[in-house]
Amino acid sequence: MRRRDVFTLFGGLAALGAMPRSFADAYPARAVRIIAGFAAGGGVDITARLIGQWLSDRLGQPFVVENRTGADGNIATEAAIKADADGYTLLLATLPNAVNATLYPHLKFDFLRDSAPVAGVIRVPMVALVHPSLEVADVPALIAYAKANPGKINMASAGTGSAPHMAGELFCAMAGVAMMHVPYRGQSPALADLLGGQVQLLFAAAPGTADYVRTGQLKALAVTSPTSAEVLKELPLVASSLPGYEASQWYGIAAPLKTPTEIVERLNREINAAFADNTMQSRFAAISGDALPGSPAAFGKLVADETEKWAKVVKFAQLKVE
């Protein structure tokens, strides 16, 4: 009996030794990369670095941000979801991932089908900004002017399919107005031309805009999110004039499909822990970010809902990439 027990014991140890190392080893055992599809210094990059540093501190391994720009985030997305599904490559997912599913008809991947949602991070509201030369004081006045002057308002954006562009197109669709879309290579050049009066309207991410409003260089009409922006609490909501309107930039973490559930769940727990940390709360507030806590499934639902929502706007506005 003892010899049988010994053989049984060694047989069990041998079976454990044969288990895949990805499950047997503690995660993470080495550096993890977070791929961001937009340039350093923007909202995607800043959010990736904030959550990457948090995960580095919590899990004891570097979470390194890798910026892969181009094609409205599609290059980064393809690189991330085609990487090994071992938890060592993540994607900073954002609103263009939902928009591009319809805007780009010949993508080599399906983001909803080919990725594993990990966790939401933050949602950032946008602000409807106009140049002072456009004599409108609120959203109803803007709608009235646009209806009386179809196509005469130049609406800037950070590029076709960007969050500012989609916020503007949703506004036009719901208000029944037509404006001239003027795309730029990012929000900064669009904001510069708005300040110079070359364009009249921009739906801009709230961070970095408050000073222009307070000094009278620009007028802020309303915020696009369901709740007021922290930096501009006095502003009304666009939804107050257009019930049901909502457009905001959002950020979350996704991984390649078939990433082990244990890894996804651990990352989800650690990211959700950030929302209870005072330092992280203040860092998110500094960029007007509202926390997006919840399970991987909850973040997956947000992405699916946003994909369906923006597909309707892309088709209604007959948007095409240049």
Residue pLDDT, tens place only, 99-115: 999 999 999 999 999 99
Q: What are phi and psi of 191, to 5 degrees?
A: -65, -35
Q: What is the CATH number of domain 125-240?
A: 3.40.190.10
For position 230, what pLDDT does the model report? 64
Report the length, in residues, of the chain.
322
The superfamily in CATH containing domain 9-124+249-316 is Bordetella uptake gene, domain 1 (3.40.190.150)
pLDDT band at residue 210 using 50, 70 and 90 as cut-offs: confident
Asked if pLDDT for residue 278 goes beyond 80, the answer is yes
CATH 3.40.190.150 in the chain is located at 9-124+249-316
Helix (H, G, I), strand (E, B) or coil at 156: strand
State the Cα–Cα distance between residues 303 and 91, nearest whole angstrom: 13
Of the chain, the percentage scoring pLDDT greater than 70 comes to 90
CATH 3.40.190.10 in the chain is located at 125-240
Identify the CA nearest to 126 among candidates 166, 69, 186: 166
For range 309-319, the mean pLDDT: 96
Q: Look-up: residue for tokens 């090994």?
A: 84
| Strand 89-94, strand 154-157: pairing | unpaired
